[in-house]
Chain A
Amino acid sequence: MSGFAIDPCDKCEELLQPFLDRDLNDEERAMAEEHLSLCEYCRKRYRFEEELRRFVRQAAVEEMSPDLKTKLAGLRTPLL
């Protein structure tokens, strides 16, 4: 029997972020896992969320210019 009192997909949606953050207690995690094993709709959305986090992380990367790197190194205390 499912432990969800309300629409199980709504509840599963609520658990998405803490599930991926590994921030659920054992009972909640088991509840989400049970539902995900039965529900393709939610499973797809969970996989998408994981992919989305990777996508945003990669898109947000902008490397530092070599010029700035040189300027930072130039801020070191001069050796006597």
Chain B
Amino acid sequence: MGETAPETEARKLAEDARDRVRFEEEALDLADQVYRVARRLVSSKEEAEDLMQETYARAFRSWKSYQPGTNLRAWLLRILTNLNIDRGRRVQRAPDMQPLEEGDYFLYNKLEEATREPNPAEERVIERLSQDDAVSALSAVPHDFRDAIVLVDIGDFSYNDAAQILDIPVGTVMSRLHRGRRILKRELAERAVTDGGNSE
């Protein structure tokens, strides 16, 4: 004998509740990873924490729009970046496209020079950098470029995922990443060389 209408309704409700709980647990399991990215997309810990709460509140409300089997971490980051823009926490502006003089070897060359050793090993060169310099240099990179670096180099997202999260073409992700890394190296060079000069 088949189910009655109320029985069907009750079964659906129970299934929904089970799926929702599963979704919420999976999303919470990813919170550490989402936070690591969120923290570097905004400038302060407080902003990152607010954004995480808004993101999870929205994700839990609209859990049915997530397609099971797709990348949940990317889905959460998409919500987070949209909220970040919607709430005016960052000013959208045209990316800085002025020519950059420095190439990819610029940082190494500067640091090597600062070691004052002939032909030093790479380990000696990277020792010129401090973790604080890395964090402050990253936050000095303009938003559009930093978003690409944070998603791909720190969040380990593919170019495609980063393009979907930021709602820009894949080619734009690649060019921002390429340029952003060079800007980051320029910022690191400024900090490391200044620090080295102070300590000697």
Q: From DSSP, what is the main secondary structure of chain A's interface residues? A: helix
The smallest C-beta distance from A42 to any residue of chain B, in angstroms, reads 8
Query: Interface of chain B, helix or strand or loop or mixed?
Result: helix
B134 at the interface (CB under 8 A from A): yes
User: Is the beta-carbon distance between B125 and A48 smaller than 8 angstroms?
Assistant: yes
Per-residue CB contact flags for chain A residues 3-24 toward chain B (1 = under 8 Å, else 0) read 0000000100110110000010
The residues of B that contact A10 with a CB separation of less than 8 Å are 103
Distance of A52 from chain B, by nearest CB (Å): 7
Q: Report B-chain residues with C-beta under 8 Å of the C-beta of A77.
A: 20, 24, 60
The complex places the Cα of A59 from the Cα of B154 at a distance, in Å, of 10
Q: Is the CB of B31 within 8 A of A72?
A: yes
A51-78 interface code vs B (CB 8 A; 1 in, 0 out) = 1110111111111110011011101110
Residues of chain A lying within 8 A (CB to CB) of residue B105: 13, 16, 45
Q: A68 touching B60 by the CB < 8 A rule? A: no
Cα distance, A80 to B105, chains bound together (Å): 60
Q: Would you call B57 an interface residue if the criterion is a C-beta within 8 Å of the partner chain's C-beta atoms? A: yes
Pick the contact of A60: B40, B56, B185 (CB < 8 A): B40
**Which segment, of B45-53, B67-75, B160-168, faces chain A?**
B45-53
Interface membership of B104, Cβ < 8 A: yes
Bound complex: CA A16 to CA B154 (Å): 19
* Contact in complex: A68, B134 (CB < 8 Å): no
Q: Is B80 an interface residue (CB 8 A)?
A: no
Closest to A58 in B: B131
4 extra A-B contacts, CB within 8 A, seeds A23-B174, A45-B104: A47-B122, A60-B134, A62-B45, A63-B35
